[in-house]
Structure 1
Amino acid sequence: MSNDLPGRNPDLKTPAGACDTHMHIYNRAYPASSKAWLFPSDSSVDDYRKVQARLGLQRTVIVQPVTYGFDNRCTLDSVAAIGGNARAVVTVPPAVTDSELEQFWQSGARGLRYHQMRGSVTEWLDVPFMAERIRGTGWHLQIQFDGLEFPDHEDLIARLPCTVVIDHMGRYARPLPIEHPAVRSLLRTAARDNVYVKLSGAYHIAHGSGPDYKDVAPIAQALVAQGTERLLWGSDWPHPTEAAEAMPDDADLLDLLLGWAPDPGARQAILSDNPARLYRFET
C-alpha cells in the first residue's frame, strides 16, 4: 500500500539540501521481474512529493525495487519526472556495456544495486567484477543482504576497490546487541573510508516496535559515535512489506535522528553534506 496519507510534521527541522537516500516508486504499468514476489500498489512521484514536502526534504534518491529486476524504466522515468533534485540507484546485469552505464549516469544513476535477498536477480560473484569495472569512477555499489551473514561477507566487501553503500544498518532480521559478531562486523566495515551506511529500515530489524524502535538505537548510535562523515538517512518509503497496522509514519522515521544523532552538525552531515557528495548533487 502507498504511505501517502496525511501525517504529522516531524519535530526535526531539516537542513538545506536534506536528502532521502532510499525510497522507491512502484507503477503496475511496468512489468515485474520473473523472480518478483512483492507486487505493491502504485506509489507515484506525486504521492512521494506529499511526503517529501511534509518532511522538509529537497533531494531524493530513487532505488530500483527488486520487483522490477533489471528493468530500470520505472525508476529512471521517475527521476526524470522529479528533475535535478533526484538521483537513482539501478540494477544491471554483469554484461552491461560501458555505453549503457554512461546512459544510466546521464539519466541520474549513481549507484548499482545488489539486493542479495528474496527475489534477487543479482549474484554475489558479480560484486567484485562490477566493483573493478567502476574503480576510480563516481559510481558506487549499494549492497543489501541478511545482516546475520555479515561476517561471511566482510572480507569480500573489504577488498572492493570502489565506494560501497550498506543498506538499512545491516538489515538484521532481529535486534542484536552491539557485542554480536554480525554487528561488530558491520562496525568494522563502516570504519573503512570507502564505505557508507544508510541509517534506514529500522522496522526491518525491530519489527512492529515503532515509533521509537528502541532496540535498533544501540546500532545506530554506535555507527554515529564511530563517525558521521559517511552516514546517510533514508525513509524506505512506501514500506510495501509492512501491514497497514504496522505502517510507519515517515515523520517518526526522520525523528529517529534526534535520538540517534543529537548533534545538529551530525544531522547536517547525514541529511545534506554526505548525500550531496556521494550522489553528486549540485550545491
Structure 2
Amino acid sequence: MTYLSRRAFVGGAGAAAGALTIASDPASAAPPPVPFSAGTNRPAFPVPYGAVDCHIHILEPERFPYPNPTSTPPPRASVDDYRLLRRRLRTTRAVVVTPSNYATDNRCTLDAIARLGRRDARGVAVIGADTTDAELVTLHAGGIRGIRFNLTRSGGAGAELIRPLAERIAPFGWHVQVHMTADGIIENLPVLTDLPTDLVIDHLGRIPGDAGTSHPAFGAIRNLIDAGRTWVKLSGVYLESTDGPPAYADRSTIAKAFVRAAPERMVWGTDWPHTTASRGEVPMPNDADLVNLFADWAGDRRTIRQILVDNPETLYDFEPLTAVP
C-alpha cells in the first residue's frame, strides 16, 4: 500500500458535497429499548448502508469467565443485545474490541465475530509477549485485524511491548490501537512514532475538553496523522467532557477539528456498552444522539460516508458492500 501524507491527500481531494440536514423522523416507529443505551430514538438522518461501528465490546462472563475478576466486574453485554443496537442505529457492520477485563483471552471476541458474521464483523485483540505465532494465525483467521493497548487500566500489555508486538503483527497487515490519556500520548510519543504498522488512537486521544485543541496531544496526533499511517477513533466523546450531554460541546470541538484536518483518517464507534457509564463515572449515553452528533461533526453526506463506510473498509479489511440487500 502507498501511504500519502495528509496534506497530499487533502490537496488532491475534491470539495465535499451533499449538505446534511438533521431532522426528526416521526414516521419511524420507536425501536425497543437497548441495554446500556439511553433513549429509544433512531438517528435523525439516513445512515449509509455498510456503516461500521468501529468500537464495541462484548462481555459474556457466563460463557467466557473473566480471568481476573474484580469486585465490580462489568455486566453482561451480549451479541444479541448489540444486535438490538445495530437495528436501532441502522448500522451494518461492527468491530469487536477485546476489553481489559479479558486480559489476553480473546475467545469472547472471536466468538462474537463468528456470530455476527465474517462479512459484517472484525476484531481487535489483546495479546502479550507469550502469544505464539500459531495463535496469531488463528486470530487472523477469526477476523482479528489489530491489537490494543489500554494504558488507562490494568490487565493488558504495557507500553514497553508496543514496538516488539507491532513488529510481530506487521506481516499480517494489522494495526496497533492505543487507549491512553492525552498526557500518556505525549509521554509515549517516541514509541508511537514510526511503528511498522498503522496506528489507531482511541477515543479522540482522551484530550480533556477543558484543554481542547490547545493540549499538546492534539498537535502531536496531527503530526502522526500527517506522517500517513495514523487514524483517530471518533468515539468516547463523553470521556473527559466537562460540558456533558447532550452536545458534549467541549469534546465536540476537538472532534470537529480532527475531522476538518483529516477526514480520510477518521473512523467512528459507539463504545457500546459504555462500561464507564455502567460504573457510574458518566451518564449513560444515548447512542442515536451520538450518531447525530457525529453527523454534525462530519457536516455533509460525503464525509459521513467516508468515515462510516470507506475508511473502515480500508483499515479493517472489510469487503466493499455494493448493493443494499
What is the TM-score with the length of structure 2 in the denominator? 0.82
- Cα deviation 1:235-274 (Å, max 9, x = unaligned): 0001121139811010011111222110211111110001
User: Match of 2:113?
Assistant: 79
What are the within-5 Å matches in structure 2 for residues 211-230 of structure 1? 211-230=246-265
Query: Shift in Å at residue 159 of structure 1?
Result: 2.1
| One-letter identity of the residue aligned with 1:43 | A
Change (3 A) 1:245 1:193: closer
Tell me the amino acid that sits aligned with residue 27 of structure 1: E
Counterpart of 1:271 (choices 308, 313, 317) is: 308
Deviates more, 1:46-55 or 1:143-152: 143-152
Which of 5, 12, 17 is the aligned partner of 2:50? 17
Q: Secondary structure at the match of 1:235?
A: coil
Max Rg structure: 2
Q: Is the 8 A contact 1:35 1:120 kept in 2?
A: no
Q: Indicate yes or no: 2:92 matched with 1:58.
A: yes
Stretch of structure 1 that moved more, 172-181 or 160-169: 172-181
Unaligned segments of structure 1, at least 5 residues: none
Determine whether 1:47 maps to 2:84: no
Say if 1:224 and 1:174 are closer, same or farther in 2 by CA, change over 3 A: closer
Once the 2 structures are TM-superposed, how far is the Cα of residue 208 of structure 1 from its aligned partner?
6.7
CA–CA separation in structure 2 for the residues paired with 1:207 and 1:248: 14
Q: Distance in 2 between matches of 1:158 and 1:179?
A: 21
Q: Work out whether residues 55 and 251 of structure 1, in 8 Å CA contact, stay in contact via their aligned partners in 2.
A: yes
SS in 2 for 1:197: strand
Report deviation, 1:6: 5.8
Asked whether the 8 Å contact 1:175–1:215 carries over to 2, the reply is yes
More moved, 55-64 vs 2-11: 2-11
Paired with 1:164 and 1:38, the residues of 2 have a C-alpha distance of: 31
Structure 2 distance, partners of 1:192, 1:253, is 29
Q: Which amino acid aligns with 1:156?
A: V
Distance 1:282 1:143, change over 3 A: same
After superposition, give the CA deviation of every residue in 1:132-164 in whole Å (9 maximum; x if it has no partner).
222353211111111122222222211211111
Contact 1:191 1:226 in 2 (8 A): no
Equivalent residue, structure 1, for 2:125: 90
CA distance in 1, matches of 2:233, 2:243: 20
Is structure 2 residue 3 aligned with structure 1 residue 3? no
In 1: Cα distance, 2:243 partner to 2:284 partner? 9
Which of 164, 173, 190 is equivalent to 2:199?
164
Distance 2:217 2:53 in 1: 26
Counterparts of 2:109 and 2:44, CA distance in 1: 30
Please name the residue that 1:248 is paired with.
285
Deviation for aligned residue 1:174: 4.6
For this pair of structures, how many residues does the alignment match?
283
- In 2: Cα distance, 1:172 partner to 1:278 partner: 23
Query: Which 10-residue stretch deviates more, 66-75 or 238-247?
Result: 238-247
1:245–1:191 distance in 2 versus 1, CA, 3 Å: closer
User: Aligned letter for 1:21?
Assistant: C
Q: CA deviation at 1:49?
A: 0.6
Alignment of 1:255-266 (within 5 A): 255-266=292-303
Cα distance in 2 for partners of 1:63, 1:46 equals 16
Deviations 1:45-76 (A, max 9, x none): 11111111111100000100111111111111
Which range is displaced more, 168-177 or 40-49? 168-177
For the residue of structure 2 that corresponds to 1:232, the secondary structure is: strand
Aligned identity (percent) is 37
Deviations 1:19-53 (A, max 9, x none): 00001111121222327575111111111111111
Moved more, 242-251 or 138-147: 242-251
Question: Hey, what's the Cα distance between the residues in 1 that align with 2:110 and 2:172?
Answer: 20
In structure 1, distance between residues paired with 2:37 and 2:206 = 24
Give the alignment partner of residue 110 of structure 1, picking from 131, 142, 145.
145
